[in-house]
Structure 1
Amino acid sequence: MANEIKDPGIGTKIDEKVRRMINADGSYNVIKKGSTKGIRDIFKYLVEISWTWFFTILFVGYIIFNMIFTIIYLYFGSENILGISPDNGPIFFQIFFFSIQTFTTVGYGTLAPVGITSQIVAAIEAFVGFMSFSLATGLLYGRFSRPRSKLKFADNFVFSKYEDGYSFKFKLTNLRDVVLQDVEAKIITMFNKENKEGNMVRTYYELPITLPKIDIMALTWTLVHKIDKESPFWGKNKEEIMKQHPEFLIFVNGFDEIYSERTRARKSYVVDDIIWNKNFATNFKSLENGKLLMDVRDLNNVIDE
């Protein structure tokens, strides 16, 4: 019989409204309220968001800063900026582009601050611009240097025949061309169980895997949990498994030879993600030149047993 493990840090109390503790994308299904947001949280957010949102935020911030300094210059008067002329277009846009030149420390020589007030404002803006570009450079470095896991899991997992019995199978692959080394996997399942007091609690089991570690991951990897006497699902039929509302948490980590760091990924499946009595299809084939062709788009394909 499978041995129950200690709570890994998720809790044992059950709320029927909470169907999963980890979202399908690997993020935790938790909303924190009342926590203090600091500079590190902003840095973490800017490092983790998509490139589109990252450059959008930088560009919007760039425009806002220059708009603020443009208004300040206008407040002290356009006559304090040498080279401003009605013949060159609207005064606002001339000062706006002067602000951009000051912010970026470009300075084409056609516009210049005149008087102590405008020079102080220009000095402050140049400092703000210098610090802003330094921060942007640090964020860019952080985004490029941060190892990102490109492990992709199949959208579903299967219940299929295996040897003389049945098994749960989970499939994943690495989307990057780099080969991961010393890759390890662990599967924890949690489901509802009645305790001695008659209350329903969440219990945890680490599922044995037929191949929990591989030396290299160049193609796909199918994690197989054989349902035998060592499995918490031993002796249970489909209806009994469905009734327990199990959640399967998969943790994978491997050594990335490009970054010389260990990369990690996690995935959650719930009982609705099970495809019953099917098997994963092979999504790679050999070519005439002796190479293997793998199509990651076929990762979710299943076949009849």
Structure 2
Amino acid sequence: MTTPSDKATSSASPPIPRPAVKNSRTFNVHTKGLHSSLLNDFYYRVMLANWPQFFIGAILVYLCINAGFALVYFYGGDMILNARPNSFIDAYIFSFQTSTTIGYGYLLPKNGVTHAIVMVDVFSGLLFVAVLTGLVFARLAKPRASVLFSKQVLVTQHCGQTTLLVRLANGRKRSTIVNCRVSAVLMMEDRNPESVFERRFIDLKLERDNIPIFSLTWTLAHTIDEQSPLYGLDKAAIESYGTILILTLDGIEDIFAQTVHTNYIYEAQHFLFNKRFASILSQHKDGNRMIDYTRFHDVEESD
């Protein structure tokens, strides 16, 4: 990997494309030539959507299904008893009542062809409800880790050594993550002497990468010594390499007894030097320990 001074002398090389981080969880990168099928990725997209998107999508799909059968009834001629002539609204209401098996008794199938279409309409309605129920259950049954990550990465003196620090906290008061393990990977980008763009992933050795029970807070520490990829790098050098720190956490959530995992991504601008995390521990008036999460992301000047 070239040094920052070497990079300054090779201005003829095109700039290195830096990946943008989206919501501190993933990379926001444009792709070209990669095609995905909606049907093949349907379950993945449904599970990835948030709840408003999920329900809005379900409502739109249901309305479109009813509209499709309503068009069949509407253009099929005189198919619905007691329906107004050339009324798409009546055809749509009949389709809605059929798919939901309501049947108020006013709009009725008029002939055998209509009865055949009604059977398909009812089946599609029952199938939609079954699929929707399964998707809702799958989303509710999926355990999610609620972990707070500090907004900044600190490079400061800790126990007499230059150390990289990141603070974590369990975001659920009555939940515990058992056998919790964290891995830290540093991503650094540069051009080699042949001006070929390279991206390197380097494991960061943590002073402790696992704890048996994660229920309160946890400060991750990486000693920056001669073996560390961050050794000798200042703020400018870290930014010049487009340094990104990727943290992944996994463990067993005690309520669901299932494995949960989450991740967090720090960009170069999130690295702060000569700072320390503000203390969030104090003693409550009843004598128990209290954690002040309102100061979780606060930093102070290091002594």
TM-score category, normalised to shorter length: 0.7 to 0.9
Displacement after TM superposition at 1:287 (Å):
2.2
Displacement after TM superposition at 1:25 (Å):
2.7
Aligned to 2:154: 158
Aligned CA-pair RMSD: 2.7
Percentage identity across paired residues of the two chains: 24
Displacement after TM superposition at 1:97 (Å):
2.0
Kept in 1, the 8 Å contact 2:164–2:221? The answer is yes
Displacement after TM superposition at 1:244 (Å):
3.1
- Secondary structure of the 2:44 match is helix
Matched, 1:251 2:254: no
Q: 1:2-46 deviations in whole A, cap 9, x for unaligned?
A: xxxxxxxxxxxx984432486453224444533341534111101
Change over 3 Å in CA distance of 1:291–1:57 after alignment to 2? farther
Displacement after TM superposition at 1:192 (Å):
4.3
Displacement after TM superposition at 1:68 (Å):
2.0
Displacement after TM superposition at 1:257 (Å):
1.4
Kept in 2, the 8 Å contact 1:20–1:270? The answer is no
Alignment partners' CA distance in 2, 1:290 and 1:101: 63
Change over 3 Å in CA distance of 1:111–1:209 after alignment to 2? same
TM-score (norm 2): 0.84
Kept in 2, the 8 Å contact 1:67–1:96? The answer is yes
Alignment partners' CA distance in 2, 1:182 and 1:133: 39
Alignment partners' CA distance in 2, 1:300 and 1:231: 25
Aligned to 1:64: 64
Change over 3 Å in CA distance of 1:222–1:130 after alignment to 2? same
Q: 1:265-305 deviations in whole A, cap 9, x for unaligned?
A: 12221221112211112334332234444454433211122
Alignment partners' CA distance in 2, 1:24 and 1:65: 35
Aligned to 1:97: 93
- Matched to 2:169, the amino acid is T
**Structure 2 unaligned spans of 5+:** 1-12
Change over 3 Å in CA distance of 1:82–1:238 after alignment to 2? closer
Aligned to 1:228: 225
Matched, 1:167 2:163: yes
Kept in 2, the 8 Å contact 1:170–1:222? The answer is yes
- Secondary structure of the 1:39 match is coil
Displacement after TM superposition at 1:166 (Å):
1.6
Matched, 1:83 2:82: yes
Q: Which structure's relative contact order is higher, taking Cα pairs within 8 Å and 6+ residues apart?
A: 1
- Matched to 1:253, the amino acid is D
Most deviating of 37-46 and 240-249? 240-249
Aligned residues: 288
Kept in 1, the 8 Å contact 2:19–2:27? The answer is no
TM-score (norm 1): 0.83
Alignment partners' CA distance in 2, 1:76 and 1:288: 76
- Secondary structure of the 2:207 match is coil
- Secondary structure of the 2:26 match is coil
Displacement after TM superposition at 1:206 (Å):
1.6
Please point out which of 140, 145, 150 is paired with 1:144. Answer: 140
Most deviating of 201-210 and 125-134? 201-210
Kept in 2, the 8 Å contact 1:81–1:111? The answer is yes
Alignment partners' CA distance in 2, 1:239 and 1:30: 24
- Matched to 2:227, the amino acid is E
